[in-house]
Amino acid sequence: MNTYYLTTAIAYPNGEPHIGHAYEYIATDVMARFKRLDGFDVRYLTGTDEHGQKMQQTAIQEGVTPMELATRNAAVFQEMDDEVLNISYDRFIRTTDADHHASSQEIWRRMEANGDIYLDTYAGWYSVRDERFFADEETQVNEQGVRIATETGTEVTWTEEESYFFRLSSYADKLLAHYKANPDFIAPQTRANEVFRFVEGGLEDLSISRTSFDWGIPVPEPTNPELATDKDHVMYVWVDALTNYITGAGFPDAQSELKRYWPADLHVIGKDISRFHCIFWPAFLMSAGIELPKRVMIHGFLNNEGEKMSKSVGNVVHPADWADRYGLDTVRFFLLREFPFGSDGSYSHDGVLRRKNADLSNNLGNLTQRSLSMVYKNLDAKVPEPGELTDQDQKVLADAAALMDTWRTHFEVQDFYRALGAAWKVLDDTNAYFADQQPWVLRKTDEARMKTVLWVTLEIVRRVALLVQPVMPESATKLLDALGVEASADAGKTNASGQGPRSYAAWDTQLAPGTAIDKPTAVFPRHEEE
RNA sequence: GGCUGUGUAGCUCAGUUGGUGAGAGCGCACGACUCAUAAUCGUGAGGUCGGCGGUUCGAAUCCGCCCACAGCUACCA
């Protein structure tokens, strides 16, 4: 069976999850469910990135240990995945997991064995009060002429500390060659361009350890005596964070049954961390002699009515609030249907409402309801037997049948926006077809023809319902229930979804005449709110 | 400043390698129908395709300049 391994970025759990996190998890979930329904052996990894100075500082402020803080906050993310978003991850990895420690130390050893790690000093703006370094742009010179950290207002001084470095500089050409040979490695193109230009400008070696704090994975004992030191180093968090992707595939256990998943097919990330995934990560892997992931898909940020989401503006949306207000499936649908994945998006209450009422209630929901109602009331609640198909029947059926290939093509590049657009075009046409055929008139004049029209319509609804299971698992399941399609698996939640009447393998298994249906009820009620 | 993009109907956007009179969805107006979730179907509104200039028989689509907006320009994550 073909494997498909995909990941989200792991969240830094020093704050609460917001709709931006949810966006990434949902999109990745949709991709994972799609592949499972399409018969792939899928593994979906998500989790939390728990080390680093900020976690340690936050813990100190709150009077708990870093581990306690991490455990508490990781649980918040995991609960959101489980109880709010219905995310079908296969493992929720925490960078504090024991196997991840082993994995991170092993990739470090391999990079070292390849001669890419050396000991030197790292210089930067250091705040004694905050006990941390600040990047140049995180500092400013105040009115007294003293350089301070913008965030905390404390004085910073130019300081050097011992650090291990990674020879990133020697990987620029190799990276460029890889980008050129693998044009789909980074998407969308505009993000890829940014990465190319950055690398073309030359790369500096990267400081990959810290001695100024200890909340991290210890650097393993060096084998090369020149690297020996009496200081305690922990890994720079990005070394450990990125490595989660191979830990999730069983690294370094050569016997692991998870090994079949590497190289990953897809890393889904936000645009703020493209450099780490498109430059540092492949360089680390090259150094360690590990295959590179096949693709990094970079999504955009969500704006609230065109404005950046921020705590100070007070327009931060909590996923649970949205799910409660509109329904989870509506939220999932909206986020993928409203704007292209890879572009920034803007959401608003009116926008969600329009999508919900127009696309879900009026279009898909009502098409289902009007056709099922006629069957229920006039045809003894049994799926009718179609007669000879007219050109019009065949046209709409063929358009619906073509959606599977269209979706596969678009999903290959995570173009959920166009995939959904194509499906809704078919639904638009089907509503027009239904109105044009006027089955309510045929009821009195030509019952056989009415049966054909109703069967054609229901068959198209079946295909669309089957198709949209990854996007709206709950609602699609209700639609398939209403059509009397025999249940199989779980709408893409597990690999069991790859076969049976609700898998994509059943794409051409048409709706069986004679199937009993229940009294239809609205699957997508219009939005009601005071 | 440099680099990369974007700028098309009220809104969100499509528009292959330049070619019949510039499109879709939503929203809006009017009309039709009544199977259906006050849903659906049809018609329409007539937008200098950011601006100027150029190439061409012909450009939203190529070239140049300009304007506006966004992103990137490394080690907090």
pTM, entire model? 0.94
Measured to protein CB atoms, the chain B nucleotides within 7 Å are: 2-5, 12-14, 25-27, 33-42, 70-77
pLDDT digit string, tens, across residues A183-194: 889 988 889 988
The nucleotide lying nearest A201 (C-alpha to C1') is B73
**The pLDDT of residue A376:** 97
Task: Check whether residue A470 has its CB closer than 7 Å to nucleic acid strand B.
Answer: no
Confidence of residue A167 (pLDDT cuts 50, 70, 90): very high
Residue A172 phi/psi, 5-degree rounding, is -55, -50
**CA of A418, C1' of B57: distance in angstroms:** 37
pLDDT value for A127: 76
Binned at pLDDT 50, 70 and 90, residue A166 comes out as very high
Q: Which nucleotide lies at the shortest CA–C1' distance from A124?
A: B75
pLDDT of residue A107 exceeding 70: yes
Across A378-397, average pLDDT:
95
Query: Which nucleotide is nearest to A526 if distance is taken from CA to C1'?
Result: B37
Regarding predicted confidence, which is higher, A422 or A43?
A43
pLDDT band at A160 (very low <50, low <70, confident <90, very high): confident
Q: Quick: pLDDT tens for A233-275.
A: 999 989 999 999 999 999 999 999 999 999 999 999 998 899 9
Strand partners, A113: none
Give yes or no for residue A4 having a pLDDT over 70. yes
CA of A98 to C1' of B6 (A): 46
pLDDT confidence band for A338 (50 / 70 / 90): confident
Confidence of residue A102 (pLDDT cuts 50, 70, 90): very high
DSSP-assigned letter for residue A516: B
Q: Which of residues 193-222 of A touch strand B (CB under 7 A)?
A: 193-194, 197-198, 202-207
Chain centroid offset of residue A383 CA? 38
Residue A181 CB burial class (10 angstroms; 0-12, 13-18, ≥19) = exposed
Span A421-463, pLDDT tens digits: 899 999 999 999 999 999 999 999 999 999 999 999 999 999 9
Nucleotide nearest to A51 (CA to C1'): B77
Provide the CA A426 to C1' B29 distance, Å, integer.
Answer: 26
The CA distance from A254 to A172, in Å, is 29
Point out the nucleotide closest to A132 (alpha carbon to C1′).
Answer: B76
pLDDT at A273: 92
Angle between helices A416-437 and A447-467 (to 10 degrees): 170
Calculate mean pLDDT across residues A482-498: 95
* pLDDT classification of A104: cutoffs 50, 70, 90: very high
A287 CA, B48 C1': Å apart: 57
Confidence of residue A311 (pLDDT cuts 50, 70, 90): low
Q: Distance (Å, rounded) from C-alpha A322 to C-alpha A333?
A: 12
Asked if residue A136 keeps its beta carbon closer than 7 A to nucleic acid strand B, the reply is yes
Lowest mean pLDDT across A77-91, A142-156, A187-201, A466-480? A142-156
Across A247-256, A284-293, A335-344, least confident range: A335-344
What is the predicted ipTM?
A: 0.90
The string of DSSP letters for A256-293 reads -GGGGGPSPSEEEEEGGGHHIIIIIHHHHHHHHT-PPP
Which tens digits make up the pLDDT trace of A53-76?
889 888 988 999 999 999 999 999
CA of A417 to C1' of B46 (A): 30
pLDDT value at A138 more than 90: no
Asked whether the beta carbons of A468 and A423 are under 8 A apart, the reply is yes
Q: What is the Cα–Cα distance from A374 to A115, expressed in whole angstroms?
A: 73
Residues in A 227-286 whose C-beta is less than 7 A from nucleic strand B are: 236-238, 241, 271-273, 275
Residue A49 beta carbon within 7 A of nucleic strand B: yes
pLDDT computed for residue A131 by the predictor = 67
Q: Is the confidence at residue A302, as pLDDT, over 90? A: no
In the predicted model, what is the mean pLDDT of chain A? 91
**Run of H or E including A198:** helix A189-200
Query: Which residues 339 to 378 of A reach strand B, CB within 7 A?
Result: 339-340, 343-344, 346, 354, 357-358, 361-363, 365-366, 368-371, 373-374, 377
- Across all strands, nucleotide nearest A57 (CA–C1'): B76
